[in-house]
Chains A and B, each alone.
Chain A
């Protein structure tokens, strides 16, 4: 029972950390009384180590994913027409949104200035992670759990059938509403933009790193 609890607690830590320190920590836990305070201490420390092990592209992707989830939830729970154009852009046209572009370019800058040769790839990874909620929405649409209403400028977002509604806001161009397949494939549609802005940030990051390393003239 105790061995199983210790082995469960060690799973909170990343694999690389366990390979280095796991045996030591386990041997300490096996001979020490395991009260609630110790269990919480070890679990919290493990989660902290996991957070430290996350690379920049995953962290940026998770951050954008949380923002996307918040926008999706607010879209479903309280569709408010065209009042919050940033929210609409985040869900439908993220590459037009300064926040998205800044995160991609910032990530490219960060990774390239630390010697990563593939800043565009890091931005693509972040963009894919950020798009996961939209894929889930597409699957829910496919399964008939989530329906959507198409709204034109000036149209009220109030629905009539009482189901879970995803409000899709048409722009000035009369583009068709999102088919489930389009939602599921939306991460792919964002890749070129993510790569482009990640690479632009990467170029700036490399330039900055070269400038930092320049020899100081007398």
Chain B
């Protein structure tokens, strides 16, 4: 839990997990390390598994059989579509905001 962005979409653990799984299945530990690397955010284990629980319930990710106690998770088709939609929205809003900043 140690470090989180104070606000904004980049602080949403669900979005971070979906983005982490975009390049292939990962287990909890690997998701956490990956998020630290690409977003510079440390998500606590409790927060991470709360978000994983919600994403599984929404059928955006699904566990797959793995060896050992850590199960890998993968994006479902619905999860891929949801992530794509969210990122497109963020890109649209970011480009509008940046353009207006340059004009100001």
Report Cα–Cα, A21/B46, bound state, in Å: 11
What are 13 pairs between A and B in contact, CB < 8 Å?
A24-B69, A25-B28, A25-B46, A26-B69, A27-B70, A28-B28, A28-B70, A29-B45, A32-B45, A41-B46, A41-B47, A42-B45, A45-B44
Q: B49 contacts which chain A residues (CB < 8 A)?
A: 21, 24-25, 45
Report Cα–Cα, A24/B1, bound state, in Å: 17
Q: B59 to nearest A CB, angstroms?
A: 15
For residue A23, which residue of chain B has the nearest CB? B69
| Contact B70–A48 (Cβ < 8 Å) | no
Q: B70 to nearest A CB, angstroms?
A: 5
Which residues of B are at the interface with A, using a C-beta cutoff of 8 A?
A: 1-2, 27-29, 32, 44-47, 49-50, 52-53, 68-71
> Is the CB of A49 closer than 8 A to any CB of chain B?
yes
Chain A 4-30 interface mask (CB, 8 Å, partner B; 1/0): 000000000000010001011111110
**A-B interface contact total, Cβ < 8 Å:** 55
| Contact A24–B47 (Cβ < 8 Å) | no
For residue B68, which residue of chain A has the nearest CB? A27
Q: Of B1, B50, B53, B68, which is within 8 A of A38 by CB?
A: B1
Chain A 99-127 interface mask (CB, 8 Å, partner B; 1/0): 00000000000000000000000000000
Report Cα–Cα, A5/B47, bound state, in Å: 18
Minimum-distance CB pairs A-B, first 7: A45-B46, A41-B44, A41-B1, A42-B46, A27-B69, A41-B46, A23-B69
| Contact B50–A25 (Cβ < 8 Å) | no
Report Cα–Cα, A126/B66, bound state, in Å: 42
Q: A42 contacts which chain B residues (CB < 8 A)?
A: 44-46
For residue B73, which residue of chain A has the nearest CB? A24
Report Cα–Cα, A37/B49, bound state, in Å: 15
Q: B2 contacts which chain A residues (CB < 8 A)?
A: 35, 37
